[in-house]
Structure 1
Amino acid sequence: MDPNHHDSGHSKVLIIGAGCTGLALAHGLNQAAIPHVVYERDHQDAPRKRDWNMGLHWAAPTLQSLIPGSLFSRIQTAQVDPHTPTKDLEQLRFINGKTGAILGLAETEKFYRFKRSKIRALLTEGIQVQWGKSISSITYSDDGMAVTAHFADGSQDTGSILVGADGPHSATRGILVGEERARCTPIDYAATMCFNKLPRDKARFLRSDPHHPLFQCAPNPVGTFAWLGLHDAPDPEDPESWVFFHYISFYEPRDSISTKTPREHIQHQKELAKEYADPFKSAFEWLADDNTTAWYGKMQHWDPGDPDHGWDNRGGRATLAGDAAHPMTFQRGQGLNHAITDASKLCAAIAGIWRHEGAMTIEAKANAMKSYEDEMIKRGGEEVRLGERNTQMLHDWDKVLQSPVLKKGLKQGV
């Protein structure tokens, strides 16, 4: 056998993480008939402690190109309100939190708002996932051909390429760059994510005119920023089944460590909400003090463009994608869009070097992965830095109107 080629038994892609990035990549590899295996740390039926929702806009056509048409035709079912059709042109309202007056509108085409657990469940269809597999180490063959993932349960698997797509606190990233350098960097802001069900009249009020039925946000002259949106609407005729998601983000020094209890975090959000007009004020006022679904989070990111964050991909055998590669603050709504873009570009890179007989040259693989990483690191790193700048500006009233998301909308790179 030519020593410059893989053994066919090792010619598969190992995907670590069954989130949106890993699943989208798996679908793309399916279409290209490239063998792969998806490994996920969590067990299939394990209840997740946290859920959230997220936006997809400029990368929606990219997702459509990766997954089967039968799945994309059902993409509406994964939205926070599957009963409200996605508009061709959507406007995200920015409201003066203090007065309720509209500050501006960020326009975007086809703004999908997904409940994370629902879009993940949809993307899991048709993908074989090995559940309960937590990666513990990675080893490489001496001949430059193969990579082996070792899991905490003692099992292992060997392939040609390993992709870490295991989220913002990626264990794969920790292995590639070291635990210390892999840690996300906190920034000077935090928020408590609140989820709530309400009586019929109160639920309808939060979605009634002039309030947006799905989402709206509000910077406030006092230096905070609020979001109010729908998280789930299983029955359009039963407002008491609706779940709302809202938070107020606030300045908190990056090196401070919160010692508040969950109840104290909720009380803090309620105090902040007193500076807001409706519907934000009422949404927090109606939140029970002992709500068990609320969770506090310090905003943080990891810049792949930082010189200290580089990793050795071992001749193209190990790389990162999505939040594992560039976790970012969420107030520009870009995380999922860049994750899907990563999946598409990485799939194209792999497909370009794959051979029908299940072999690829070492040099071709190294070059293809370097090209993927160069573009991804530049694009993702720029977005990480822009995201922090955007978050800072949304909490500085003198700069609110210059915020990238308000000034130029939700397009890529602006």
Structure 2
Amino acid sequence: MPIFQRLVPENILQNLDDALCNPHLEFDAEVETLPCYNGVTGKLLFRSPTPGARRVSRRRLRALLARDVDIRWGMSLKRISQLENGIKADFENGTSIDADYLLGADGISSRVREMLVGAEAAQPQGSGFLFATGINQFEEAEKTGVIVNKHPVAALMMGTSSVGGIGVVSAKKRLDNKSTWTTFWVKIWRGEAIDLRGRAALDHVKKRTAPLRDEFQLAIDWTRQDSYVSVNEMKYWVPVAWDNLDGRATLAGDAAHPMLIYRGQGFQHSITDVDNYIKALEHLHANVGAGNKVSRVDVMGAYDDEVVQRGATAVEQSLCEAEKSLDINTVKQMLMATKGHGK
């Protein structure tokens, strides 16, 4: 949070509660923790401290951060090329934009990454781990209460060849009526790559995967056929050095180091990327303004080197976390158990 708070304008931070999944919470040591339960016995395995962390709706946070930003939706990048004093981006709709720098933050299937390392080398790899998620708004407040009582933010279950998770997506409506709240469940297991939505996804989870236990299985069992459910394979890309076009183009976030969703590392590393990128640009501009000769290639090259090294470590760690999370004998060896959610 400290880095995020430094990067984001005050008027956005003042409205951050608008993006919280459960803004009614009194945040304390109990709430600021992620409990993990034994998939065999149902007993608590460990609690992973998350001091200062806040679970947010990705959609609402994106909308909040987009305020006062000039976003051109629906534009697909066609090519990037160097200019004498900058860089040019051409788009499929015929639009061209000249800029001093280009930062590719366009996700796991980044087009910018393809252009900097080559299409084949840029392809994300299948992990062999499937990820399912379901979104529920139960008409019966008692069912929502079962989820919330496990933990008011989120809880996990591990160790039986699968991982389960439950929690709150949105409690923005009436505090006294949990039938208006939205909850979620997730499930992770090893399997062949599939991509399913809706009823087909729910049927696959119910019929083709081993059941969880207690509240984690109830959340799945209670899911209506018309609920949002998806199943797909988690993918990753271990970063390698890229051509930064003489310090004019680089990558950040999932474009630079897409990883499996363990310990919230993807978002944390994305924030670090942006912080380092801004510092690199500030360093360049400060020295140019002072008449000093600073190499753009060296400064941005140092940014790239750090992102590649840190990102590669984080991606490999996420794969290791996934392996350990499926076996009850190795769950407590996970970084989530020994180190928590910090980088």
Normalising TM by the smaller chain, what interval? over 0.9
Q: Does 1:70 align with 2:24?
A: no
1:306-328 deviation digits (Å, cap 9, x = unpaired)? xxx43110110110011110010
Gaps of 5+ in 1: 1-59
Counterpart mapping for 1:232-243 below 5 A: 232-235=170-173, 236-243=175-182
Q: Label 1:273 to 1:80 Cα distance change in 2 as closer, same or farther (>3 A).
A: farther
* One-letter amino acid of the counterpart of residue 51, structure 2: E
Aligned to 2:333: 402
CA displacement at 1:91 relative to structure 2: 1.5
Aligned to 2:77: 135
SS at 2:36 equivalent: strand
Q: Label 1:115 to 1:147 Cα distance change in 2 as closer, same or farther (>3 A).
A: same
CA displacement at 1:249 relative to structure 2: 0.8
Q: Label 1:330 to 1:125 Cα distance change in 2 as closer, same or farther (>3 A).
A: same
* One-letter amino acid of the counterpart of residue 296, structure 1: V
Q: How many residues align?
A: 340
CA displacement at 1:261 relative to structure 2: 6.6
Counterpart mapping for 1:287-298 below 5 A: 287-291=223-227, 293-298=228-233
Counterpart mapping for 1:168-247 below 5 A: 168-199=108-139, 200-208=141-149, 211-221=150-160, 223-235=161-173, 236-247=175-186
Tell me, in whole angstroms, the C-alpha distance in 1 between the residues paired with 2:166 and 2:197. 23
CA displacement at 1:248 relative to structure 2: 1.3
Q: Label 1:358 to 1:140 Cα distance change in 2 as closer, same or farther (>3 A).
A: farther
Counterpart mapping for 1:303-382 below 5 A: 303-304=238-239, 309-354=240-285, 364-382=295-313
**TM value normalised by structure 2:** 0.92
CA displacement at 1:178 relative to structure 2: 1.9
Which of 200, 203, 209 in structure 2 is aligned with 1:264? 200
Which of 314, 321, 331 in structure 2 is aligned with 1:383? 314
Q: Does 1:100 align with 2:42?
A: yes
CA displacement at 1:265 relative to structure 2: 2.5
Tell me, in whole angstroms, the C-alpha distance in 1 between the residues paired with 2:158 and 2:67. 39
* One-letter amino acid of the counterpart of residue 320, structure 2: R
Tell me, in whole angstroms, the C-alpha distance in 2 between the residues paired with 1:261 and 1:100. 29
Tell me, in whole angstroms, the C-alpha distance in 1 between the residues paired with 2:75 and 2:283. 29
1:355-406 deviation digits (Å, cap 9, x = unpaired)? 6998999962111101111111111111011011001100122211111111
**TM value normalised by structure 1:** 0.77
Aligned to 2:24: 83
Of 360-369 and 188-197, deviating more is 360-369
Tell me, in whole angstroms, the C-alpha distance in 2 between the residues paired with 1:86 and 1:376. 33
CA displacement at 1:342 relative to structure 2: 0.5
Of 278-287 and 67-76, deviating more is 67-76
The structure showing larger relative contact order (alpha-carbon pairs under 8 Å, at least 6 residues apart) is 1
Q: Label 1:273 to 1:77 Cα distance change in 2 as closer, same or farther (>3 A).
A: farther
Q: What fraction of aligned residue pairs are identical, expressed as a percent? A: 29
Tell me, in whole angstroms, the C-alpha distance in 1 between the residues paired with 2:128 and 2:142. 37
Aligned to 1:32: none
- Which consecutive aligned stretches of 4+ in structure 1 deviate over 3 angstroms post-superposition? 85-89, 259-262, 271-275, 355-363
SS at 2:259 equivalent: coil
Of 233-242 and 270-279, deviating more is 270-279
Decide whether the 8 Å contact of 1:247 with 1:269 is kept in 2: no
1:42-82 deviation digits (Å, cap 9, x = unpaired)? xxxxxxxxxxxxxxxxxx11010011122212222211112
Tell me, in whole angstroms, the C-alpha distance in 2 between the residues paired with 1:220 and 1:289. 28
Aligned to 2:221: 285
SS at 1:340 equivalent: helix
Tell me, in whole angstroms, the C-alpha distance in 1 between the residues paired with 2:48 and 2:340. 4
Aligned to 1:18: none
